[in-house]
Each structure stands twice: as C-alpha cells, then as structure tokens.
C-alpha cells in the first residue's frame, strides 16, 4: 500500500505543504459542506437510531433548510412538510394579512410587510410583527395524516425576547394543531410563551366546546433568543387530556387540563405555524378588531425544525430525535467547523487508503 507524506525539507524549491488529496477535499467542501442549509431533509437517514415504530409514527417533518419558497421581496410563501424519505406530504402556505388599517377601517390583505422571512444560510424562518393585528402565518390541512389520539411534536428554535407592540398579556404561539375553523373558544395542540410572565403554555378546549383554558408551565425567559429543542406530548382521552412539555430535555412542568377537558379532534386537523388562529377576531357591530383579543397571538422568533409524530414515542426514539435536533450545528459555530474538519480528515484518509 502506498502512502503519501508531507515534504517538510527546508529550502526545497518544490516543497509541498499539503498532500495531493487536499485540493479534492477543498472541492468537497465547496460542493456543499460550507452551505449546510442545502442538505436534504430525510429524517430516516438523519436519525438512523429511530426505530421502525418511530418511523411509522412520523406524520411530517418541516426542515427550514429545504422546501421553503419566497416571493420577489423575500417573504416566505410556503414551507414543505416531508416524510422520512424526503418526499413532500403537505405544504404550509402563507395566510393571513398585515393587520388592520385603522386609517381606512379595513384589513390590509397584502403581504408586503414580509412578516415571515427565510434565513437560508442558517436554515430557519424568522417571524416578526409590525402591528398587533397582523395575522401572517403558514397554514395547511392535515387530512388523512392523523387518526386521533396522542401526538408528539418537536420543534427547534426560539421565542424572541423582544415584544415591540407591547402585547404583554397574550401568548405568542409557535404552532397550533387543531380541528376546523377555530375561534377564541377552541384550543388545540399548541405551544405558546405567555408574554407577561414568559411562561411556556398552551390553550385547550373544554369538552363542551363552550370555553377553553390556558395552562402554564415554567418560565422560559432564559431561553429567549437561544435555539432550543422543545418537545410536547398531547395525550387525549375520551373525557380528559394530559400534556407534558420539555425544553432541551428538561420537564417544563406544565399543568394538564382538568377533568372534562379535551383537545380538538386530531383526525382531520389543521396546522397553523406562527399563530394561534386566523382571522383576527372582530367586533361584528363595529367591524373593528376586538379590544379583548388584540391580535392573532402571532409568533415572534425563529423556527428551524418542526416534527410531528402520532402517538407517544419510546425513550430511545425521543433521545434519537432530540440528539439529532441538538446536533444540527449553527453556521459559524465551533460545532460546524468541527464537523467540516472531521469530513475533510475522513476524505483525506480514504484517499490515502485507496492508493
């Protein structure tokens, strides 16, 4: 077997500081490693430790590194949800508007504000808000993808610590998976940060459908603007429901809804990403936004990944998914450069062994 060594002889005119394989390694990097956001979303390949049962439970996987469409000014118009092999199963399209134009007493139906933008280099969607009545979000029906029962949802990203509109008493919703056209009485399987106390929480419907209740857990203010892996388990019973929320594997101690409380049906649900619901609720007499609701509970922050499973996962599957999400390196981070160095070193070694 031939091996290649570095020529370190001082004063040699043709001295080479790198092996011949180095340019090939540089080419490998240029082909995509320096742009990890271009990687394909194929969860079964990315999480080889996921069991067969876990694979069968996967409903859809939104990965902001792929499948994001934008308009001519950079606003997100769609985000594809994929199966474990990377095939598109749903597409969440932009819905909502720029809020209520009080000067003209009408809704601003345009998307000119670009409230949702794509950071391609990071592989994330950024959600912002310019007024409290904006309802821009992503929406898709989930017909036929769920049969009802328990649901486990992972998402990676963060809630922003800023609150430019001062909407301090309402929750900011990262997502809501719920049945039908919802209103303020109907909750679902959702994840929010309550602004005033910055507690994690969710809003859930009562069984009779006439009212709902918000349940809160621990404060997550220390996770503001910090990429975090969140996991939520919603376990529906015939007349009761339990919820468990986690952040980076730590129990966030959310209270479960009381007896007689259920979630919206999960058999034919709708998925709202970046809000609780649409539209903004209006006072029918004045045709103006209701002062009591003051907006669409829009998400302010970033979302990198959203993964939905039907049922509850085994501890080993939970560990596999959370390890995958935690290990996705941020561009410019030490973890990314370590990963790049490891691939280069492997490429060099393989070329040498092949000689």
Largest CA distance in the chain: 89
In a domain, 253, yes or no: yes
Q: Which of 28-37, 63-72, 144-153, 158-167 has the lowest mean pLDDT?
A: 28-37
Smallest Cα–Cα separation from 317: which of 58, 25, 33? 58
What's the CA gap between 340 and 346, in Å, rounded? 10
Residue 51: which pLDDT band, with cuts at 50, 70 and 90? very high
pLDDT average, residue stretch 225-234: 95
Whole-number pLDDT of residue 143: 80
pLDDT average, residue stretch 244-262: 85
pLDDT score of 327 more than 70? yes
Residue 186: which pLDDT band, with cuts at 50, 70 and 90? low
Q: Is 123 left (phi over 0), alpha (psi -120 to 50) or beta?
A: left
Whole-number pLDDT of residue 110: 56
In a domain, 155, yes or no: yes
Q: Which of 59-73, 147-161, 221-235, 261-275 has the lowest mean pLDDT?
A: 261-275
We report the CATH number of the domain holding residue 301 as 2.60.120.200
In a domain, 346, yes or no: no
Residue 288: which pLDDT band, with cuts at 50, 70 and 90? low
In a domain, 107, yes or no: yes
pLDDT average, residue stretch 230-248: 86
For Cα atoms 228, 231, 236, give the angle at the middle one, nearest 5 degrees. 160
- Domains in the chain: how many in total? 1
pLDDT average, residue stretch 98-116: 58
Task: Looking at mean pLDDT, say which of 95-109, 156-170, 213-227, 233-247 comes out highest.
Answer: 213-227
Whole-number pLDDT of residue 90: 96
In a domain, 35, yes or no: no
The burial class, CB within 10 Å (0-12 / 13-18 / 19+), for 13 is: exposed
Supply the range of the domain harboring residue 60: 52-337
Say what percent of the chain tops pLDDT 70.
Answer: 59
Residue 321: which pLDDT band, with cuts at 50, 70 and 90? very high
Count of alpha carbons within 13 Å of 192, Cβ hemisphere only?
A: 29
Whole-number pLDDT of residue 130: 73
Q: How many CB atoms lie within 10 A of CB 344?
A: 18
Higher pLDDT, 17 or 200: 200
pLDDT average, residue stretch 220-247: 88
SS3 (DSSP) at 52: helix
pLDDT score of 251 more than 80? yes
Q: Which of 39-43, 63-67, 281-285, 304-308 has the lowest mean pLDDT?
A: 281-285
What one-character-per-residue DSSP string does 150-217 give?
-EEEEEEEEE-S--TT--TTSEEEEEEEEESS--TT---EEEEEETTTTEEEEEEEBTTSS-EEEEEE
pLDDT score of 19 more than 80? no
Helix (H) or strand (E) holding 231: strand 228-236
pLDDT average, residue stretch 280-299: 55
Q: Do residues 325 and 153 make contact, with C-beta atoms less than 8 angstroms apart?
A: no
- CA dist list (Å): 95 to 119, 137, 147, 160, 279: 20, 6, 25, 22, 9
What's the whole-model pTM score? 0.78
In a domain, 138, yes or no: yes
In a domain, 42, yes or no: no
In a domain, 40, yes or no: no
What's the CA gap between 222 and 270, in Å, rounded? 31
């Amino acid at each position: 077997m031939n091996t290649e060594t570095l020529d370190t002889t001082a004063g040699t005119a043709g001295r080479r500081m790198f092996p011949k394989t180095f340019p090939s390694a540089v080419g490998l990097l240029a082909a995509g490693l320096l742009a990890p956001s271009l990687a394909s979303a194929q969860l079964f390949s990315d999480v080889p430790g996921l069991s067969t049962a876990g694979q069968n439970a996967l409903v859809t996987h939104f990965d902001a590194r792929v499948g994001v469409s934008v308009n001519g000014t950079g606003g997100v118009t769609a985000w594809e949800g994929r199966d474990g092999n990377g095939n598109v199963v749903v597409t969440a399209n932009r819905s909502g508007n720029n809020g209520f134009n009080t000067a003209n007493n009408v809704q601003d139906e345009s998307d000119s504000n670009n409230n949702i933008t794509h950071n391609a280099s990071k592989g994330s969607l950024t959600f912002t808000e310019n007024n409290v009545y904006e309802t821009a979000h992503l929406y898709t029906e989930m017909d036929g993808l769920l049969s009802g029962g328990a649901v486990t949802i992972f998402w990676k990203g963060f809630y922003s610590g800023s609150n430019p509109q001062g909407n301090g008493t309402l929750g900011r919703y990262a997502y809501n998976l719920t049945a039908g056209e919802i209103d303020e009485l109907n909750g679902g399987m959702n994840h929010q940060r309550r602004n005033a106390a910055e507690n994690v929480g969710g809003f859930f419907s009562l069984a009779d459908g006439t009212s709902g209740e918000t349940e809160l857990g621990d404060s997550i203010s220390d996770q503001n603007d910090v990429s975090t892996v969140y996991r939520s388990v919603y376990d529906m019973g015939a007349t009761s429901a339990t919820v468990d929320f986690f952040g980076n594997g730590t129990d966030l101690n959310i209270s479960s809804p009381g007896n007689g409380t259920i979630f919206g049906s999960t058999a034919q649900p709708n998925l709202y990403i970046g809000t609780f619901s649409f539209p903004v609720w209006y006072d029918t007499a004045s045709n103006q936004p209701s002062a009591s609701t003051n907006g669409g509970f829009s998400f302010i922050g970033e979302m990198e990944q959203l993964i939905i499973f039907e049922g509850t996962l085994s501890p080993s599957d939970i560990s596999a998914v959370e390890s995958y999400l935690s290990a996705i390196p941020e561009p410019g981070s030490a973890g990314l450069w370590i990963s790049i160095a490891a691939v280069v070193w492997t490429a060099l070694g393989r070329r040498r062994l092949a000689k």
